[in-house]
Structure 1
């Protein structure tokens, strides 16, 4: 996550030099961090932005958004794709955007995230293996006291939970924005059992 004020400073730096600010929201956009776009947390708007992944709810699609005055410099043929113009992907993206922007959707996702973070932080309080919980919305990571993320991923998978080892000492959790409270509790119970297995049942 960017440090507080970093993106605002970067925006000012680009403006001073007449440079375009481009954000990659491929993984963070479309509600993933609790707001429609992640940059909204910092009140900073990019000139160009890349989107994909969550844009169509699992259907492959990518998009580039730009300010009107920037987009005016693109002419036909400047940007193309051999897979562009797919009507199925476009329809899926439209349906996804409408759903995420529907009343109460993001608020429900934020509440689910708060529940998940609370459960994860309780693991941080009780197990020495867990050193931190970081992230925003439904894009979270758990820091580990030693390089055992691959073992933790395997342990969780054996119990029915899929998580990702992004570093030797960290795992990533990216549940769907529609995750239920029961699913959060089940996932955290599995994660705790997996941590306990790696720790040999030791606690703080």
Structure 2
């Protein structure tokens, strides 16, 4: 039977090319398709499934909450919403939390909050300096904030107010500051941009610049937060405290959940300024509680650091063996720099491997990005490296 006959995918709106496979089950670092073939998953929904597929703690939280209450309306408090907000503020330097459903929504909220703060405290300043090659989401405002090539024309005109600086170039940021500037926004590691970390010195310099000019320092931790970089939040690696932080992906471990966090001094929303039908939904925030509790359990983040160091060692060994361009990243968000534009080909051939496939991601043609579950086993890292080594030998 033809794939389209078995699965009438023509009813889905086209947004991207997808292979003819349907995933039916997942457990830990593995996915299974409609034919029973298993795939070692080093993408994990683009760093979403921080605890892998079918995490028992998440399943228990979801099931238990589903039997109690699913959606009382965001106009009322619910217990998981309150509990997750407290967990997040207890484990961070922030005082206030607003829950949403996606990273783009959280970033859109951060932009709105910064502009509201600028209206109240900085004579209507509204411009937010962002970085070239950055990625902040797919709403009109977050696309405008992003520095992704070509995004300035797809749905033009853009939302104004997002001048672009260069990552790790403090002078380029300072040159853009004027009386309309309200904040500086960046990813501590540019994920879609090619897994490029902001240096410790750059992050510290941005904090000093923000203090000097009375600006908001905003970190987009949608991809880097929730343990991905070996600390609960990636900005901790630089020893800085931002004014606003956004979370997504890992905070829900696979369910639609995100958060906008800020210090008490920045919390400027008034009644009616911000909202959303499913924001703070108890079903999602109950899962979020399980995720954060597991991430903050004794020894968990140290294990992420250890496995991140091990993955780095193995990727560097591959790079040396095949004359590649090295590796970079933080924790378990890492990239292997290739010596030519074979990233997409490696992704395709890795998926087609037999008897087991391998799921990889190439955000740039000359780059592979690795985003395994944070509880990935060392043996699974070895297996991935072995499979990739075989592919590199084939293409060499």
Question: By the TM > 0.5 criterion, same fold?
Answer: yes
Matched, 1:192 2:389: yes
Counterpart of 1:57 (choices 224, 249, 253) is 253
Structure 1: how far apart are the matches of 2:271 and 2:326? 48
The more displaced of 145-154 and 30-39 is 145-154
CA shift, 1:90, in A, is 0.4
Counterpart of 2:271 (choices 71, 76, 79) is 76
The corresponding residue for 1:143 is 337
Q: Is the contact between residue 308 and residue 332 of structure 2 (CA under 8 Å) also seen in structure 1?
A: yes
Please give the TM-score of this superposition, normalised by the length of structure 2: 0.49
Greater gyration radius = 2
How many residue pairs get matched? 197
Q: Is the contact between residue 319 and residue 325 of structure 2 (CA under 8 Å) also seen in structure 1?
A: yes
Structure 1: how far apart are the matches of 2:389 and 2:270? 54
1:123 aligned counterpart, secondary structure:
helix
CA shift, 1:39, in A, is 0.2
Listed as ranges, the gaps of 5+ residues in structure 2 are 1-196
Counterpart of 2:327 (choices 111, 133, 155) is 133
The corresponding residue for 1:38 is 234
Q: Which stretches of structure 1, 4 residues or more, deviate above 6 A after TM superposition?
A: none
Measured against aligned partners, the alpha-carbon deviations of 1:118-144 in whole angstroms (never above 9, x if no partner) come to 11111011102x211100101001111
Counterpart of 1:156 (choices 347, 350, 353) is 350
CA shift, 1:82, in A, is 2.5
2:200 aligned counterpart, secondary structure:
coil
Structure 2: how far apart are the matches of 1:182 and 1:3? 31
Please give the TM-score of this superposition, normalised by the length of structure 1: 0.93
Q: Is the contact between residue 350 and residue 358 of structure 2 (CA under 8 Å) also seen in structure 1?
A: yes
How well do the aligned residues superpose, as a CA RMSD in angstroms?
1.0
Matched, 1:168 2:359: no
Q: How does 1:3-22 map to 2 (within 5 A)?
A: 3-22=199-218
Structure 2: how far apart are the matches of 1:62 and 1:41? 22
Structure 2: how far apart are the matches of 1:46 and 1:4? 14
1:10 aligned counterpart, secondary structure:
helix
Structure 1: how far apart are the matches of 2:309 and 2:255? 28
Counterpart of 1:98 (choices 270, 289, 293) is 293
Structure 1: how far apart are the matches of 2:368 and 2:274? 36
Structure number with higher helix proportion: 1
Structure 1: how far apart are the matches of 2:321 and 2:242? 41
Structure 2: how far apart are the matches of 1:131 and 1:193? 18
Q: Is the contact between residue 332 and residue 374 of structure 2 (CA under 8 Å) also seen in structure 1?
A: yes
Structure 2: how far apart are the matches of 1:76 and 1:64? 17
2:362 aligned counterpart, secondary structure:
strand
Structure 2: how far apart are the matches of 1:105 and 1:149? 31
Listed as ranges, the gaps of 5+ residues in structure 1 are 200-204
2:319 aligned counterpart, secondary structure:
helix
